[in-house]
Amino acid sequence: MFDNLHRWLIIRLALVWLVLSLIIGCMVQYLGNTRLDSHIVNMAKSETANYSGEFATYLQSPSASNLALFNKRIHRLIENDHLIVVEFYDATSNKITEVIKPSALQVEAELPKHGSDFSNKDTIFTQKVSLNNDTYLRVFIPIFTQADAKIGYMEGIYHAPAEIIHQIKQQTFWSLLLVVLVVLVTSLALYPLIIRLNSKLLDYSHILALTNVGMLKVLGSAIAKRDSDTNIHNYRVTLYSVRIGEKMGLSNTAMQGLIKGAFLHDVGKIAITDSILLKAGKLTAEEFEIMKTHVRHGEEIIGGYAWLVDATEVVRCHHEKFDGTGYPDAAAGAAIPLNARIFAIADVFDALTSRRPYKEPFSLEVSLDIIRQSRGTHFDPMVTDLFLEQIKALHGEICHENEALLHKKLEECIGTYFK
């Protein structure tokens, strides 16, 4: 169980690490790309500011000589920055001049054309374009007079520096790696903490289970005393039932319900009056009808406690018979819960082989003959066959042992099935 817990926890922590790494990694990647784009745009705006300033000066007094001077200044500027193309237009979208770096002629030809889409814009506009693993930024800058009249605009193609892009991508990569490592270290740090907390939870659960089992024993003992019996009957029928359940391969959960039900099978007798419950002779028909109500009383008593709900199958149905002649519901065959069918044969066998105020114990052979004769009528044939296969060994193990030894064996069963 502990190994399964480790595996379960490792798998889930690994999944959490993977999911968080993907989510946070995507966020880091997105923020890195946003930062890169913003940085490139700011660099492009910074470099184009000189051009727009020169162009605004020219537009204030356009002439052939001023145009020649403007062209000279533009050629000098473009040689020393990352712009590869600049174009200048008047307010009516007539091109005034342009400058293209010789090395960028082929690139400029390959970049997608935009037509006159930018001419109507009144604010700085940028458009990122990727080409041959390089990043370019098309920049549009409108030119206004002091009276906010648009007198022209310029367009430029900015080639983002590869070293800047590489640097920011490297920073993004290391940030991403750091995030993954932080999530991993956090997951690894949580592992022993969760194991420790789970260990404490298991300890508390075990204490609670022992408390519940203790309550089960006390209640079972009270019922036995009420019925002029001792705990040894509860121990024997519970051990018989457990051994049959083990032979049938019942799950731990089913075994828990079987043990609880076996201990509390007659809890409803608390509601039966002493005159009927302790009567030495045979009950009248009316008295027997009252006695039969103990199964319903038992179901009501334990039904309100969630930990005992799985015991109700045995408490309510242990007097049902396989042929449908039992009570309280006259259920038959598979309609009777399996735990109740198992307990029924254990309860009857112990009653046959035990001393009671109204009878002496029957011998093993006589008891087994009665069980065989009741196969298919009172008892489930399959359960009967499994019981008969091992009853001699069980009889020797359980029937004649003292209460202390039976209590010890029952404690071992509880330790096995109430972990």
Q: Where are the beta strands (DSSP E) in 38-189?
A: 83-90, 95-100, 125-131, 134-144, 150-159
Average pLDDT across the chain, whole number = 83
What is the per-residue pLDDT for 334? 94
Taking a C-beta distance cutoff of 8 angstroms, is the pair 296, 268 a contact? Answer: yes
Taking alpha carbons only, the member of 64, 110, 108 closest to residue 86 is 108
Q: Which helix (H) or strand (E) holds 246?
A: helix 231-248
2-169 carries CATH number 3.30.450.20: yes
Taking a C-beta distance cutoff of 8 angstroms, is the pair 129, 107 a contact? Answer: no
Rounded CA gap, 101 and 86, in Å? 9
Rounded CA gap, 162 and 132, in Å? 12
Taking a C-beta distance cutoff of 8 angstroms, is the pair 233, 399 a contact? Answer: no
What is the per-residue pLDDT for 278? 80
Q: How many CB atoms lie within 10 A of CB 368?
A: 19
Give per-residue pLDDT as tens, 356-412.
Answer: 766 788 999 999 999 999 999 999 999 999 999 999 888 888 887 787 888 888 888
In this prediction, the residues of the chain whose per-residue pLDDT falls under 70 are 1-5, 111-120, 202, 205-206, 208-210, 224-230, 357-358, 419
List the structure tokens of 369: 């003959």
Name the residue ranges covered by the structural domains of the chain: 2-169, 227-417
User: 3-class SS at 145?
Assistant: coil
* Angle, CA of 268, 271 and 273, to the nearest 5°: 130
Rounded CA gap, 151 and 145, in Å? 7
227-417: CATH number = 1.10.3210.10
What is the per-residue pLDDT for 370? 95
Taking a C-beta distance cutoff of 8 angstroms, is the pair 295, 329 a contact? Answer: no
What is the per-residue pLDDT for 48? 79
Rounded CA gap, 346 and 262, in Å? 9
Taking alpha carbons only, the member of 242, 279, 236, 243 closest to residue 259 is 242
Give per-residue pLDDT as tens, 58-115.
Answer: 888 888 888 888 888 888 888 888 888 888 888 888 888 888 888 777 777 776 666 5
User: What number of H helices and E strands is found in the chain?
Assistant: 14, 5
What is the per-residue pLDDT for 33? 76
Tell me the HSE value of 180 on the side-chain side, using a 13 A CA sphere.
Answer: 11
Sign of the four-CA dihedral 245, 249, 255, 258:
negative
Torsion of CA 306, 309, 315, 321, to 10 degrees: 170
